[in-house]
Structure 1
Amino acid sequence: MVENNPFLSKEFSGVWMKHFGESQEIEAPNFINPVKFIKHAKLPVKQNIGSTLTKGIGYQKSKPEKMEINGTYLLYDIPSYFNNETAESKKIGFLSTKQYPGYLIELTAFANYQEYLQKTFSKSSRYKLNKYKKRLEECFDIRYQMIWGTVEIEAYEKIFDTFKNLLEKRFDDKEVYNNNLDPKEWNFYKEVVYPLLLEKKAGLFVIYDEENPIGITLNYFSDTIIFDAITVFDIDYAKFHLGSVTIMKILEWGWEHHFKIFDFSKGHYEYKTRWATQKYDFEYHIYYDRDSIKSKMTANCIKQFYELKQQLRDRKLNERLHKLTYLLKKNKKEKEKTLDYSFSNLESEIIPDHLEELNPKKLVNKHLKTIAFDFLYLNNECMKNLRIYKSDQKEIDYLLIGNQRQIGVKINIH
């Protein structure tokens, strides 16, 4: 049983009920605890409070003199590594179905972050990871912060609004629907995270470029586990591998604060397989009344229904559905033009006194911003030293000047 599971807290449960279970009667059955249930909106079962918006709940078997069950109960997202004691008995039936895969890092298997890195990644991979972080910090004015504990509500709301904007930008670029951005779901997250954050049951890890958040990760916390919930970064900085830098910094923070597990949560992504030390399963648990034919049939139908859904996920049909949902929900955008550009070394230094200068921090042109960031990354230049000019020569369109070199840029958008 996970101690102080944030998804079973009164803060999480109370806000979830306000958004998804208002006016519903809450039931606390006597065969397991501390999970509570309400009637499912669509299926003929009772579902756990939190539904699929938790990142993993656990429970323990109750031991009253007489365990009773009234109907069919569905528990979502039970991580197999929680090792729950099931409440199966002569009266109570139990079924489970494997759903999403999960991935985690056992922090206690290593003395610190450096030992983990040494034992998990090859020398060349470690070099690349350290290079990403170093290059990011050399090119921009970077700082990191885990917002965890006291924070003013105005500052919190400002960061959460940026969080949403970055997610929209990210998934518009991918042209994929993200259910986190559904207004009802997003409003739940925005309301629930703040009280949990004050109790140190949630945190927002932020990467800043000067005072501008460019990477944000929502984490939840039990006494021993960091749950990675939602991560986003500004796609303009994609060259700098903010995803890897975020994981590195949160892991360092996790060891410093004596957590035992970093849980990447549900879903298979290639990066999780590289970082994780253990794979596990998310399971749905179903309890039913053995003496009720209706309850038994319902339980078996629910199990088959979710196993079918998992088979469809295995065939990647959910990914196609997310793309289709995006197209249905969003107005069809004009097809993004392809950027083709080349850097050219200059035969002689150009004195730009007569050229129009552009502010690198206020570039409206998305393509030019991409080019500028590539210039910084490839030449190990710093943003504060960068100057950009419109060229008056046919050979190049722009002139980029850093602290160490100047380069011409020719752009072809088609």
Structure 2
Amino acid sequence: MKLLGIKSHNFSFDFFEKNTVPPFYKGIEDVPNAYFENNIIKDNNVHIVNCIMPYIGKRESTLNDDYGHYSKSYRLGYAMDFSNSSSATDYLKNVLGKKTYKSMRQDRQRLYRDHNIRLKVYHGEMDKDHYTYLFKTLKGYILKRFEGRTHTHTALSKWDFYVPTCYDMILSKNAAMFVLYDNDLPIAISLSFRHKNILTAAITSFNENYYKYSLGKLMFVNQIEWCFLNNCTLLDTGWGNIPYKIKFSNAAFYYDTKVFYPKKKLAKKMLAFFISWVLMLKYYCIVVFKEKRFNRPEITFKNRWLNLRSTNMHSQHVSLKTESS
């Protein structure tokens, strides 16, 4: 792609994990000016900006005047919208149903009965050495889980970014690390990023010796409960059709993909137009022929589309009322 003068960006990754936005934006409603401080373009390339969340990207924004773009919406994302729920229990019962909720609660009770379990949420304070230990443990769990598979966890390709940057983000409350301990052994670790009243789930892995307790699901429950205690009204679970993630989510949405081109370059404009259609067709080919999914999302998620009006941001932080730092 670089040989053709094409560069790619991930809006969601830049926004939540770097606290920036791709350089074609001069401003977005209710997003701090600091996110745009380094937005300088020094080339005439075509730029693909993937994974633009609608609850950010569809706000009133100012784009770089020198660039035009083609926009397509096709990649599905999933989220948990808590705006109409009175509590975590209320949300879980409504979304999971009584039978699944009861089964999940029993898994949690068995875990706490069989082991000396405690939850620790690091959000604002954390020992640096323990942070390093937890990241090393988390990577080990991911490598063990994907051992023998033909593909690897996408987070591993960004590991050199996560390790040196996430510690300061935890201290500044732009990230949170959820850790489930059995005595002093971390058995499940989840890393999430926060922007005002929105939490996005980034990485979760666990000790496979505890597989029978459904730790992946239980970590979702822990994050949901934390969101209610900390005024987070949206938990973005990202893209990828993982069944239990979809089960926990009550909202679906389309990410935007924008292909930017320099307005004064006719050849780049034509290339951008071509790329925008190729990317969409490629996605649908993967969905239909590889993943064997034929249902239209508009029908499958008929009553579950994300209500953008319910995701209004605020910057208030509330101290966690359970054990945390």
Specify if TM > 0.5: yes
Alpha-carbon shift at residue 312 of structure 1 (Å):
4.0
1:281 CA displacement: 1.6
Q: Which string of whole-angstrom CA distances, capped at 9 and with x for unpartnered residues, describes residues 295-338 of structure 1? A: 2112113213322431343146499xxxxxxxxxxxxxxxxxxx
For structure 2, the 5+ residue unaligned runs are 29-40, 293-325
Gap change, CA 1:104 and 1:45, over 3 Å in 2? same
Task: Pick the aligned partner of 2:85 from 97, 105, 110.
Answer: 110
Q: Is structure 2 residue 223 aligned with structure 1 residue 250?
A: yes
Structure 1: segments with no counterpart, 5+ residues = 1-39, 63-68, 320-414
The corresponding residue for 2:202 is: 229
SS at match of 2:276: helix
Q: Report the equivalent of 1:404.
A: none
After TM superposition, give the deviation of residue 54 of structure 1 in Å.
Answer: 4.1
> 1:344: which partner in 2?
none
Residue 296 of structure 2 corresponds to none
Out of 273-282 and 173-182, give the one that drifted further. Answer: 173-182
The 1:55/1:236 distance shift into structure 2, 3 A limit, reads farther
Residues 179-222 of structure 1: per-residue CA shift (max 9 Å, x gap): 3224xx21111112112111111121111111111111110000
Indicate the SS of the match to 1:108.
Answer: coil
CA contact (8 A) 2:12 2:52 kept: no
What's the counterpart of residue 359 of structure 1?
A: none
Q: Which amino acid aligns with 1:262?
A: L
Change (3 A) 1:274 1:51: closer
**2:165 equivalent in structure 1:** 192
TM-superposed deviation, 1:275: 1.1
AA paired with 2:53?
Answer: P
Q: Of 71, 96, 105, which residue of structure 2 is paired with 1:121? A: 96
Change (3 A) 1:176 1:194: same
Identity of aligned residues (%): 24
| Matched letter for residue 152 of structure 2 | Y
Offset at residue 46 of structure 1 (A): 5.1
Q: How far apart are the structure 2 equivalents of 1:165 and 1:47? A: 29
Aligned to 1:258, the other structure's residue is in SS state coil
Aligned pairs, number: 272
- Alpha-carbon distance between aligned partners in 2 of 1:194 and 1:89, rounded to the nearest angstrom: 33
Distance verdict in 2 for CA 1:276–1:179, change over 3 Å: closer
Residue 139 of structure 2 corresponds to 164
Q: 1:133 aligned to 89, 94, 108, which one?
A: 108
RMSD: 3.0
Residues of 2 paired with 1:88 and 1:180: CA distance?
30
AA partner of residue 229 (structure 1): A
Shift of 1:292: 2.8
Query: Which whole-Å deviations, capped at 9, do the CAs of 1:359-388 have from their partners, x for residues lacking one?
Result: xxxxxxxxxxxxxxxxxxxxxxxxxxxxxx
In 1, Cα distance between the equivalents of 2:290 and 2:186? 34
Q: Does 1:294 align with 2:267?
A: yes
The 8 Å contact of residues 7 and 48 in structure 2, kept in 1 or not, is answered as yes
Partner secondary structure for residue 247 of structure 1: helix
The match for 2:50 is 76
SS in 2 for 1:109: coil
Q: Which residue does 1:275 correspond to in 2?
A: 248
Decide whether aligned partners of structure 1 residues 149 and 61 sit closer, same or farther in structure 2, where only a CA change above 3 A counts.
closer
Partner of 2:185: 212
C-alpha change, 1:223 and 1:52, in structure 2 (3 Å) is closer
In structure 1, distance between residues paired with 2:148 and 2:15: 26
- Please give the residue correspondences for 1:6-405 in structure 2 after superposition, counting only pairs within 5 Å: 41=2, 43-45=4-6, 47-48=8-9, 53-54=13-14, 71=44, 72-82=46-56, 83-85=58-60, 93-172=68-147, 174=149, 176-182=151-157, 185-315=158-288, 317=290
Cα deviation, 1:245-267, whole Å, max 9, x if unaligned, reads 11111110110011110110121
In the TM superposition, what is the alpha-carbon distance from 1:116 to its structure 2 partner? Answer: 0.9
SS for the counterpart of 1:259 is: coil
Q: Which residue of 2 aligns with 1:25?
A: none
Are the equivalent residues in 2 in contact too, given 1:60–1:84 (CA < 8 A)?
no
Bigger relative contact order (CA 8 A; separation at least 6):
2
TM-score, normalising length from structure 1? 0.59
The answer as to whether partners of 2:51 and 2:257 remain within 8 angstroms in 1 is: yes
Contact kept? 2:12, 2:53, Cα under 8 Å: no
Cα distance change of structure 1 residues 122 and 47 upon mapping to structure 2, 3 Å threshold: closer
> Are the counterparts in 2 of residues 142 and 209 from structure 1 also a CA contact under 8 Å?
yes
The answer to whether the Cα contact below 8 Å between 1:117 and 1:126 also exists between their aligned partners in 2 is yes
> Aligned-pair distance for 1:87?
5.6
1:135-175 Cα deviation digits (max 9, x unpaired): 11001111111111221211110000000000011111655
Matching residue of 2:36: none
Distance 1:55 1:100, change over 3 A: farther
